[in-house]
């Protein structure tokens, strides 16, 4: 949660707004048929919004490539982009690392 709030619930690779995981899970609890969640993230049983909007932490420089497993090397990204990035560097993918968002502008629907 510290990384998500530091980054302002912004996908640092795309600049897209992300949503607090608890809010997404609440939606699934309230309307499970319309917004399903599957605990093992099976793509045919989990609403695609989870992959696009669920924040996760990525190592900007992959640990397998010499990056540190440390707060300073962690960035917020979506599940989708984290899976796409795998062990590549942002330079190899020609991706941009966006500036963190401001919680005053977007709080990830934590309220």
Residue pLDDT tens, the chain, 111 long: 999 999 999 999 999 999 999 999 999 999 999 999 998 988 889 999 999 999 999 999 999 999 999 999 999 999 999 999 999 999 999 999 999 999 999 999 998
**Cβ(18)–Cβ(55) under 8 Å?**
yes
Is the pTM of the predicted complex or chain greater than 0.75? yes
**Cβ(35)–Cβ(49) under 8 Å?**
yes
**Cβ(54)–Cβ(65) under 8 Å?**
no
Give dist(CA 68, CA 61) in Å, integer. Answer: 7
Q: How many CB atoms lie within 10 A of CB 13?
A: 23
């Amino acid at each position: 949660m510290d990384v998500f709030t530091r980054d302002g619930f912004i996908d640092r690779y795309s600049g897209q707004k992300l949503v607090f995981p608890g809010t997404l899970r609440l939606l699934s609890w309230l309307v499970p048929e319309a917004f399903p969640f599957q605990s093992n993230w099976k793509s045919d049983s989990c609403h695609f919004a989870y992959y696009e909007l669920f924040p996760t932490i990525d190592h900007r420089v992959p640990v397998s490539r010499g990056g540190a497993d440390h707060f300073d090397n962690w960035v917020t990204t979506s599940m989708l982009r984290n899976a796409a990035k795998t062990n590549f560097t942002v330079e190899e993918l020609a991706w941009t690392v966006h500036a963190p968002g401001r919680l005053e502008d977007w709080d990830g629907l934590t309220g």
